[in-house]
Each structure stands twice: as C-alpha cells, then as structure tokens.
Structure 1
Amino acid sequence: MAEAAVRLTALAEDLLGKPFPVRLRAWDGSEAGPPDGPVLVVRHRRALRRLLWRPGELGLARAWVAGDIDVDGDLYTVLDRLTGVVWERADAHRDPDSRLRRLRDPRLRTAARGLLALGGVLPPPPPPPEEVGHRAGSSHTKRRDRQAISHHYDVGNDFYELVLGPSMVYSCAYWGDGALTLEDAQRAKLDLVARKLALKEGDRLLDVGSGWGSMAIHAAREYGARVTGVTLSREQAAYARKRVAEAGLTDRVEIRVQDYRDVTDGPYDAISSIGMAEHVGSGRYQEYAAQLHALLRTGGRLLNHQIARRPQTDEATYEVDEFIDRYVFPDGELSPLGATVAGLENAGFEVRDVESIREHYALTLRRWVANLEDGWEQGVALTSPGRARVWRLYMAASALSFERNRIGVNQVLAVNTGADGASGLPLRTRTWT
C-alpha cells in the first residue's frame, strides 16, 4: 500500500476532472496534492469502504464521525474547498436523468474499482453509534417529533453550556451595534425579537420551542411580559425552570413540556418562534401556521425566526441532507423563504416585515465551533468522541453554508390582522431600528 495518497488523489482527480483541492495524507504516511494549506488525513482504509457502500456525503460523514478521517490544520478551509467541488458537480446534475447518467459514468466505475483495490473487499463497516436508528411510522407525528427532539437536544445541558456559552441561546445571534461577544450578540437578538413584537408590561407571550428559557426570561425581566414557554425536551425544560426560579420570575414565566399542537389557552398577545419551525416539516407547516394564528388575539404579532434553503428550479428533486438527518436533526426540513411566507399568509397572517440575517448566523456558528474546540477534551468527556465530532462538523459546515449563501435565516413579522384591516402597526413599521 505504499503511496496510497498518490493513488487516492489520482482517483479523485480522474473522477472530478480537475486537481484535487486539498492535500491528502494516507494511513501509510504518504502524501499527495497541493503543498499549501491544511491536510485531509485518511487514518484508516475503513474510510474507503464507507465510501464504497455509501458514496458521497453520508459515507464521508460516517468516516469523520468514526475518526477514520480527520483534518490537520484549518477545518473550514478543507470543508470549503471540498464542498465547493461537491456543489459544482451537483449543479451539473440537476436534471431528472442525472442519477442514471452518473451510474453509467465510466469515471465513477473506475473510481469504485480503485477504492475497492485500496480499501479491501470486506462487509460495510457499522455506522458510528450516534446515527439515528430506525424511525417507524410517518414523520412529524407527536411521538416521532418527541424522539427527534430528544436525539438532538437531550445531549446534556453541560455540553450545550460549553458550546453556547452563558447565554444558552441556540439560534442566530445579532451582531453589530457594539455587540463584541457572543453573549452581547445573543442579548441583542432576544431584544430585537421583543421589540419587533412590541412587548409591554402584562402582555401574554407564547414562546414556541422555548429551549433553555432565554427568550422567556428576557421578555419577562426586561419587558414585564407574562410568558408561557413550550418545548418537547425534558432536559431543556428542567434547566429553564431552574433559571426562571433563580431569576425570581416564577410568577411571570411558565415552562411546559408540551407540543405546540396541544396549546389551547389562547389568545396570546404575541408569539415568538425562534429556530423551531425547522422541526415542523413541510407537510405540517400549514397546520403549524394555522395553530399559531388561532392562538393570537386580533392584532397580535408573530415573530417567526427560521432557517431557509435556496429554492430549486424543480422542487421535486430536493433531497434532505443525509448527514444532518441521520446525525444532527432527525426529520428536520428546510424550506425556501417564499414557501414560509406563503404558508403564513395562507393561514390568515398578514406578513409585514422580512429581515434576512444570514451573515449573522455564520458569525454565531464560528463562535460555537471555537467554544467547542477550546474545550474539546471536556466536550468529549461530556458526550462521546463521535458526538463531539458530529457537532464540530455540522456547525463548521453550516457556517460555510451561510457564508456562501447556500442557506439563509430570516425573521418574519406577521400579524393576525382584524376583519376591518387594522393591523395595529405604526405607519413606519420598523420602529425597532
């Protein structure tokens, strides 16, 4: 197996039809590729067998999670160069017959034979243990949603404290206007949401997907709101209740372990949904929008903060990211911004403002990655080596996706406008700026 890196690089370049964008180091110590920059390290031949059995992103992700591949140097540079190649190839295969043509591609068959020679003829390696197991029944039933939320959020509050920092906010921060630290930027985001909702003393706020209670506490402490927070994560709820008690806000904040579909104690003056709608699913989005509309009083406001993907010419060809679905957010779905706005409007909302804060999420994710890398040994001890590697990869890759405009994040302000057309908003809507 001498010079395995040379053989692997040659296979990759033949398949891509261009130079391999990063340097590669193989298990035999050999290296090949451009001399500058970070190095993609293939620690074990098992990584090649993973690619043979699941070509593409999922095979690579499994190899990363298992520690079969690694990066020596800057992870972002390696991911950026590799994903750039992947997206170029994806753009070239958007038509319906692309999959069949790929199977017939002689370069693909040559690459498979080369991987087989280097990786060996053995059964497929078992997936690393953090992969989501078999999921029975239809997606986005109440039971299955509870399981999906538990997989992602019940990793351990101590682990999330390490990654998120003292703010314990797991959504895009809002940078600028003097926000120098992650905590400053998260506080600015919570305040932006409160101001868009025009919260005031005594208002009833429903915080859907309330997480560790940060929005509920901010709204009650800074604006005097009476807040009901709902989450499906029991670990989040226990943590949030403790924080509420320590803040002396138990008379103003209630945290429930409850599905948003089971909330019946409206009407509320305002609803915040921050980073929750991605778990709803496109098939259930109209139900989600209608439920929130029904829970708002006439003139009440909804602030829907949601990640969006880029629209496709043929939406029928959209495929869920396998790595994210199996290792990070089971059953999570991203929709284009236009579909989100249409869903809210179809439920009866009047959409009054849309703000894209895409670049802000890239900055936020890079801070989270830095927190994890700085406390790597602790993070591994709090979870497992595989789980820590999953979080590092998905957050770093997501940061690049936001930076390259492959995904975005938007705050949509919508109003339950009355039958007389009165929205209750001032003529100059953006009074929060």
Structure 2
Amino acid sequence: MAEAAAAVLARFSEQVLGLPLPVGIRLWDGSTAGPEDGPAFVLRDPDALRRLLWRPGELGLARAWVAGDLEVDGDLYELLKRISTLLWERDEPGSRTAALRRALSVLTTPASLRTVRRTLGLAGIGLPPAPPAEEVVRRRGPAHSLRRDKAAISHHYDVGNDFYALVLGPSLVYSCAYWQSDPSSGSGDTLERAQEAKLDLVCRKLALREGQRLLDVGCGWGSLAMHAAERYGVRVVGVTISDEQAALARERVAAAGLEHRVEIRVQDYRQIDDSPFDAISSIGMAEHVGGKRYRAYADILHQLLKPGGRLLNHQIARRPVRDEGKYRMDPFIDRYVFPDGELAPVGSTVSLLEEAGFEVRDVESLREHYALTLREWVANLEAHWDEAVELTSPGRARVWRLYMAASAVGFENNAMGVNQVLAVRTGDDGRSGMPLRRDFRGASPSVPA
C-alpha cells in the first residue's frame, strides 16, 4: 500500500503540478519517492497521505503537520524553500477530483487502486480526517466586527503568556527586531538588543518628548509603552483586546514602577474616546484590521491625533496581486494562526493613510530584519520544546514552529515585506513640524523615573 502511495505522490507532482518532487518523501513502511538527498517529508501513517491528497497544497500539508502525521527530516527552512512553488489551493471539488484521478492513474492493477482508494476515503468510501483541534472551526458575526475581532485575537494571543515568554525572550516584543548585523555571524547582536533598538527607533521617529501623550494601539505586553515612558518621559495609553496580554502588561508596568505614566486598557481602537494624543504607534496591529475597514482605521487614528502629531504604522505587507481585493492570509495562517488577518501591499497602505488626511513622510522596509527575528523565535521554541508543549499542546507548538519558519522563508524570498510608515497630521496651515532632513539615528534621552 505505502509503495503504491509513494508512486501516487510522485505522479501527482509530475503530472498535476508539472514539476518533479523537490524533496524526498518517506512513508510509514520505508517506501520512498523523490530525491534521496536533502530534506524529506516523513509520512508517519496513512492519515498524512489522505490529508495531502484531499487538500493538496498548503492546508493539507499544515493539517498533517499539526496533527503529527507528518514530520520533516533535515533542514526545515530548506524544505520550505523547495516546496514554496508547489503550494496551491483549489476549492472546486471537481478540480480536486480530477487531480486525484490523474495521480491515481499511475497504479496499474485494479486491486492496488481499490486499496489506495479505500485508504484515502475516495469514491464515497470514508471521509477525510478531521482537522486538528487547533484549527478555527466556527466564526460568528461579520468579519472585523468588535466581537469577531476579539475572538480572533484571543485565538492567537490568549494561548499563555508563559508560552510567549519562551518564544519571544525577555523583551516580550512580538514584531520584528532592528538588527545591526546577522546574529548567526557571531557579531554579538542579540534578539534582546535588536528589540530594544526597534523600540527606540519607533520612539525617535515619533520624536517623543517628556510630557507628551502617546497612544500605543495593539500594545501587546507593554514593552513599547514602558520603553517610551521610561526613556522619553511620555504618558502612554496602551490598548489591546487580549485579556491575557493586558494582565501581564499591567504586572510589568507595576513592577517597573511606571503606573503613573502607563495605562493599559482592554479596549478596541474603535472605542477610544479620550483624544487628543501627541503621537500614535501601531506596531504589528494593522494586519488584523481588514481591507474593507482600513480606511476607517486610518480615519480614527487621524482624528485621535493633535495637529502636528505623528503616526508610526509598522505593518507586514504582501506583494501586489492582480486582484487588488484579495488580501486574505494564506489558508494555513487564516485557519490556525491569524483568523481574519489580511495583508495588503505597502502602496495600498500609504494611499489609504493619505486619503484619511495623513501626510506620509517616511517609509522604511525592514524585510530582512523580520527574517532574522523569526529565525531567533524558532530557535527559542526549539530550545524549549518540551516546556512549550506542556504549556500549550503538541499541536499548538507545531503550529507556531511551522508558521514562524515559513514566514521567515517568505520574508527571505520577498514574498512578504514589513514596513514602518511615518505619517503626520498636518495643521490647518499645512505645517508638519517635521525637520528639513530626516535623521532617526540619534541617541535616546535618559529620563529619570
């Protein structure tokens, strides 16, 4: 059975996808397909094959991985790079059935064909395996309503603060760091130093000064709010709709003795009613807003700012596509990682901010920085694997390892980018308050507590 299945996979790739298998395939009884050197998929049982053939492409592979039916032998990053061109999704049952029929045509005997069909649950016999428990099963209400957004955020962020501390390290910053050099080169740059450099870069771009009021939208565990208050002397309102994030952020603020300068709220950005603010930071939050609501998001932030106030919008972007309306996350990310998340090209983001009344003054790409950051997070997860599994579940830990490694490859391949967009709400007289020349490299001030 397994030998026949290996032949099906090879045939599927060559005849349906038009390419030879780029990685090795090893099945549960020792049968193999594809190249013998380099990384390989290890299918531990027939369920792995059923998942791959019922949903060929990213979602089927992810389900097999998360369920533990599929492992990787060799370099995970190299394997993901090799298969990136083969991942595809087709929702039309007819197309999938035709693809399977052509793949199964490699089998020459009726008996072997019946065996494979019976095992895979084809031709009306059986059903595809149930998705792993970590998958989002049901979504209620309109996309990006207050209720549905809170549920989506909870799915991703309320999985345990201790788990995130293992992955992110002491900085507890869940967005790309700002590196001086590649940490693998032995330069001495560490994740914690690079994250502190990113926090300070944000504060310098916003030109924060003592006594100002900063709104941090999507404040996470409070790292930027604390950095801005402690180093720049500003008063900060940090908002998140994750209950677990807010609880730990408040504990960290109290431990640092910053309660008089930092307020952490469980609040949606659409519910803020105590403007104006001198500056707004939105770091890794706008991906959750949704394309249809992005202009409203930009309008709200513009209204919350004082004239002359600055916005720093730090956001992941995807490459432009032919259909400008299709910016949903890939199937695996949408169902297991960031439900309802959407990525848009940086040009679309800049245009919508401008339409809302902002003047965009600077755009900086940090694409390579995010690839380095993700590799560090994966290394942290792998180094504390048993503890991470105990804190969450084997499936959840596998989700995070796959999504972070695949995202690192995406940034390295320029399939995705991440950009800091600095914008200003100009005054009625058109003045921006911006210097004639941009220079964000200056040292941060030291403000006494």
The answer to whether the superposition gives a TM-score over 0.5 is yes
Equivalent residue for 1:82? 83
Equivalent residue for 1:418? 427
Confirm whether residue 230 of structure 1 aligns to residue 276 of structure 2: no
- Deviation per CA, 1:60-111: give whole Å up to 9, x if none: 111111011110111111111111333xx79xxxxxxx98899399655312
Equivalent residue for 2:25? 24
- Deviation per CA, 1:174-227: give whole Å up to 9, x if none: 001777100000000000000000011111000000000000000001111100
C-alpha contact (below 8 Å) 1:179/1:185 kept by paired residues: no
Specify which of 322, 331, 337 is matched with residue 322 of structure 1: 331
C-alpha contact (below 8 Å) 1:328/1:390 kept by paired residues: yes
The alpha-carbon deviation at position 34 of structure 1 amounts to 1.4
Equivalent residue for 1:147? 151
The alpha-carbon deviation at position 10 of structure 1 amounts to 3.3
Q: Which amino acid aligns with 1:24?
A: I
Alignment TM-score, normalising by the size of structure 1: 0.93
The alpha-carbon deviation at position 231 of structure 1 amounts to 0.3
RMSD: 2.1
The alpha-carbon deviation at position 331 of structure 1 amounts to 0.7
Q: Which amino acid aligns with 2:31?
A: S
Q: Alignment partner of 1:315: what SS?
A: coil
Confirm whether residue 132 of structure 1 aligns to residue 129 of structure 2: no
Q: Alignment partner of 2:85: what SS?
A: helix
Residues 198 and 112 of structure 1: CA distance in aligned 2, closer, same or farther (over 3 Å): farther
C-alpha contact (below 8 Å) 1:229/1:256 kept by paired residues: yes
C-alpha contact (below 8 Å) 2:150/2:241 kept by paired residues: yes
The alpha-carbon deviation at position 240 of structure 1 amounts to 0.5
- Mean CA deviation greater in 422-431 or 273-282: 422-431
- Deviation per CA, 1:364-411: give whole Å up to 9, x if none: 000000110111111100000000010000000000000001010000
Specify which of 204, 214, 225 is matched with residue 216 of structure 1: 225
C-alpha contact (below 8 Å) 2:53/2:100 kept by paired residues: no
Q: Alignment partner of 1:27: what SS?
A: coil
- Mean CA deviation greater in 417-426 or 39-48: 39-48
Q: Percent identity?
A: 67
Confirm whether residue 381 of structure 1 aligns to residue 405 of structure 2: no
Q: Alignment partner of 2:84: what SS?
A: helix
Confirm whether residue 174 of structure 1 aligns to residue 178 of structure 2: yes
Confirm whether residue 123 of structure 1 aligns to residue 127 of structure 2: yes
User: What does residue range 15-414 of structure 1 map to in structure 2 within 5 Å?
Assistant: 15-86=16-87, 103=95, 109-111=101-103, 116=117, 119-120=120-121, 121-176=125-180, 180-316=189-325, 320-414=329-423
C-alpha contact (below 8 Å) 2:358/2:425 kept by paired residues: yes
- Mean CA deviation greater in 258-267 or 318-327: 318-327
C-alpha contact (below 8 Å) 1:102/1:108 kept by paired residues: no
Q: Alignment partner of 1:254: what SS?
A: strand
The alpha-carbon deviation at position 317 of structure 1 amounts to 5.5
CA distance in 1, matches of 2:340, 2:418: 19
C-alpha contact (below 8 Å) 2:7/2:33 kept by paired residues: yes
Residues 380 and 431 of structure 1: CA distance in aligned 2, closer, same or farther (over 3 Å): closer
- Mean CA deviation greater in 32-41 or 400-409: 32-41
Alignment TM-score, normalising by the size of structure 2: 0.90
Residues 347 and 179 of structure 1: CA distance in aligned 2, closer, same or farther (over 3 Å): farther
Q: Alignment partner of 1:206: what SS?
A: strand
Q: Which amino acid aligns with 1:238?
A: A
Q: Which amino acid aligns with 2:40?
A: V
CA distance in 2, matches of 1:314, 1:382: 41
CA distance in 2, matches of 1:71, 1:48: 14
What are structure 2's unaligned runs of at least 5 residues? 107-115, 182-186, 443-449
Q: Which amino acid aligns with 1:264?
A: D
The alpha-carbon deviation at position 113 of structure 1 amounts to 6.3
CA distance in 2, matches of 1:17, 1:105: 17
Q: How many residues align?
A: 424
Off by >6 Å, runs of 4+ in structure 1: 98-102
CA distance in 2, matches of 1:153, 1:104: 34
Q: Alignment partner of 2:317: what SS?
A: strand
Q: Which amino acid aligns with 2:148?
A: R
CA distance in 1, matches of 2:409, 2:384: 22
Q: Which amino acid aligns with 1:145?
A: D
Q: Alignment partner of 1:84: what SS?
A: coil
Q: Alignment partner of 1:14: what SS?
A: helix
CA distance in 2, matches of 1:153, 1:138: 21
C-alpha contact (below 8 Å) 1:266/1:296 kept by paired residues: yes
C-alpha contact (below 8 Å) 2:8/2:103 kept by paired residues: no
Q: Alignment partner of 2:174: what SS?
A: coil
CA distance in 2, matches of 1:317, 1:210: 28
The alpha-carbon deviation at position 52 of structure 1 amounts to 3.8
Q: Which amino acid aligns with 1:315?
A: E
- Mean CA deviation greater in 26-35 or 302-311: 26-35
C-alpha contact (below 8 Å) 2:214/2:281 kept by paired residues: yes
Q: Which amino acid aligns with 2:162?
A: D
Q: Which amino acid aligns with 2:95?
A: L
- Deviation per CA, 1:18-38: give whole Å up to 9, x if none: 321111100111223212112
CA distance in 2, matches of 1:351, 1:381: 45
C-alpha contact (below 8 Å) 2:333/2:403 kept by paired residues: yes
CA distance in 2, matches of 1:49, 1:71: 17
